[in-house]
Amino acid sequence: MRLNRLGYLIKSGFTGIFSHGLMSFATVTITMACLIIMGSFGLLVVNINELIADLEEENEVVAFIDENLSEEEARAVQPLIEAVPNVSGAEFVTREQAMEDFQADYDDDMFEYLDASTFRHRYIIHLTDISLMQQTKQDIEAVDGVADVRAHLEYAEIFITVRNVVSIVSLALIIILIVVSFFIMTNTIKLATFTRREEIAIMRMVGASNGFIRCPFIIEGLVLGLVGGLLAFAIEIALYSLLLGKVVGGVAAGLFSLLPVSAVMWPMLICFVGVGVLVGVFGGSSAIRNYLKV
Amino acid sequence: MVQMNSVRMVYDSSGTEALHGVDLDIHDGEFVFLVGPSGSGKTTIIKLLTGEVHAAGGEITVNGFDMMRIKRRKLPFLRRTLGVIFQDFRLIDKMTVYDNVAFAMRVVGASNAAIRERVPYVLELVGLKGREKRYPQELSGGEQQRVAIARALVNSPRMIIADEPTGNLDPVRSLELMLLLEKINEMGTTLLVVTHEKELVNAFSKRVVAINEGKIISDGMDGYFSYEIE
């Protein structure tokens, strides 16, 4: 394509944007709003997944060893536990170590003369997937030498339920919002095609190709989508930084942590600009389609 | 060059049969008037030639394109061989005279240099030298139609189709315009002019094709009269 044609097409695209400035403004605003809502839910899902991953790390299953077994015999159980499916690691804790941890946790004179024989040798076990905790608990109980297993099944179930609900709701919202943005974009660009319908008719009459006729409207959609995406990105990052500063760094300090801005910034930029541009380009082509049938 | 053999046309939406077996040959370099009352099928013939509608039966060839089998993406190439002029001029109001004409070249991919060379030449040919920077609404009807002719002519089409080109003009301007079209024809472009105006047609000794109710009822050099006795 020659440079002057390209220049003409780009200029026509921008002319479209400014010829109905208010609608273009509305489109950018709505695209931006949809992207911010989508982004917020996206961030929620990503952070919840991260939180659950952390909790999976911390959520230990404790296997108590039969008290009749010596330390030697208790240590011999380790490979059997590690061989259980879904076990990512098992750490042996002697009864003496367990007592010291207990005393340290309570820091009370009352437990000063506690005898180590009150405690059992035990394994602290980490799981790969906490949603399978129930099954894994039963498998560990079946290992020879294991007397009892303690696992917080109820916590695991809550995490999983929260993650699933949030993921489904977010996905549904994201799809709805993309569709909404697409229709708003299409309608705005339809206005551009309407105000320029005579020009389009003349272009067809003198033999302009469909690609050439379509191009300014696609450029218009692309620019609107890009601007909407970049603005949404800037606002989302600002809001997220504010949230990190005020909540995680202030009110709820130490309770939970969120991913840092640097970890979410680039994926978010790519998603926002990508969705904005795709919505714009498809909106533009869909708006012009009716004019190209003849 | 146009060849139409036994062309039938039915509009899908209404089911009306607009043409019943039309045969029409127009050779390169000819000047042909197509006359007939409203609803006789004149506009349908133009739409078939420009590929806006498709015939229900028969054979149509326009400048080497087989209109019964042409692919949609090939239509732009057919249209580049045709120049079309309408009764209502169809100029773009927000563009100057120069830009209206240059636009037609730009959208088919002409270079800036070619545009700068060709547009002033064509504007001079149609008698609009000095009017380049005017906007359509600043011009008279006759001048606006000349802009439309310049636009139709600028891509050097093999054939110009004019649909009631003098419909909005007074008799003097109409005659001037027809003389301009005759001049263009003499330079080698085939002309098909659809019109109602009897005096105008009879002022030129050209081939006149008369159509009524979707059928060609006369075709010859006898002027408008042959159609009027019907």
Residues A41, A167 within the same domain: yes
Which has the higher per-residue pLDDT, B113 or A15? B113
Q: Which of A12, A205, A210, A215 to mutate to test the interface with B (most CBs of B within 10 A)?
A: A205
Helix or strand holding residue A76 (H, E): none
Residues from chain A contacting residue B84 (CB–CB below 8 Å) = 205
Å from A226 to nearest chain B CA?
26
User: Nearest Cβ partner of B104 from A1, A206, A210?
Assistant: A206
- The confidence band for B32, taking pLDDT boundaries of 50, 70 and 90, is very high
Residues A193, A251 within the same domain: yes
Of chain B, the end-to-end C-alpha distance in Å amounts to 29
pTM: 0.70
Give me the pLDDT at residue B230, please: 43
Query: Among the three residues A100, A134, A151, which one is the final residue of a domain in this structure?
Result: A151
Domains and their CATH numbers in chain B: 1-81+157-230 (3.40.50.300), 87-156 (no CATH)
Å from B109 to nearest chain A CA?
7
Query: Among the three residues A129, A151, A173, which one is the final residue of a domain in this structure?
Result: A151
Contact B79/A at CB under 8 A: yes
Inter-chain residue contact A206 with B112, CB threshold 8 Å? no
CATH label of the domain that carries residue A111: 3.30.70.3040
Give the amino acid at A243.
Answer: L
Lowest mean pLDDT among A77-81, B4-8, B119-123: A77-81
DSSP string, B41-69: SHHHHHHHHHTSS--SEEEEEETTEETTT
Residues A236, A190 within the same domain: yes
Residues from chain A contacting residue B51 (CB–CB below 8 Å) = 294
pLDDT in tens, chain A (294 residues): 455 677 777 887 787 778 778 888 888 998 898 889 888 888 888 888 887 777 777 778 888 988 888 888 888 888 888 888 888 888 888 888 888 887 777 766 666 677 777 788 899 888 888 778 888 888 888 888 888 888 877 777 787 788 788 889 888 888 888 888 888 888 877 877 787 788 888 888 888 888 888 888 888 889 999 999 999 999 999 999 998 888 776 666 666 678 888 888 999 999 999 999 998 898 888 888 877 765
What residues are paired with B33 via a beta bridge?
B193, B208
- ipTM > 0.85, yes or no: no
Residues from chain B contacting residue A209 (CB–CB below 8 Å) = 73, 76
> Residue A167's domain spans which residues?
3-55+157-292
Residues A191, A263 within the same domain: yes
Residues A161, A34 within the same domain: yes
Give me the pLDDT at residue B9, please: 93
Going by C-beta distance under 8 Å and a sequence separation of 6 or more, which residues neighbour residue A90?
A: A63, A78, A81, A82, A123, A124, A125, A126
Which has the higher per-residue pLDDT, B143 or A252? B143
Within 10 A of B151 (CB to CB), how many other CB atoms are there? 29
Residues A214, A265 within the same domain: yes
Residues A96, A73 within the same domain: yes
Give me the pLDDT at residue A251, please: 65
How distant, in Å, are the alpha carbons of A37, A39, A205, A256, B27 from that of A51? Answer: 21, 18, 61, 8, 81
> What domain count does chain A have?
2
Most confident among A176-180, A248-252, B6-10, B223-227 (mean pLDDT): B6-10
CB B176 within 8 A of CB B142: yes
Give me the pLDDT at residue A111, please: 67
User: Nearest Cβ partner of A199 from B84, B92, B109?
Assistant: B92
Residues A147, A112 within the same domain: yes
Residues A186, A279 within the same domain: yes
Query: Among the three residues A106, A132, A151, which one is the final residue of a domain in this structure?
Result: A151
Nearest by Cα to B6 from B47, B19, B207, B27:
B19
Within 10 A of A28 (CB to CB), how many other CB atoms are there? 25
Q: Which of A11, A19, A198, A202 to mutate to test the interface with B (most CBs of B within 10 A)?
A: A202
Inter-chain residue contact B104 with A210, CB threshold 8 Å? no
Q: How many A/B residue pairs have CB atoms within 8 Å?
A: 54
Residues A89, A49 within the same domain: no
Lowest mean pLDDT among A141-145, B29-33, B125-129: A141-145
What residues are paired with A199 via a beta bridge?
none
Residues A85, A207 within the same domain: no
Which has the higher per-residue pLDDT, B16 or A112? B16
Residues A210, A270 within the same domain: yes
- The confidence band for B229, taking pLDDT boundaries of 50, 70 and 90, is very low
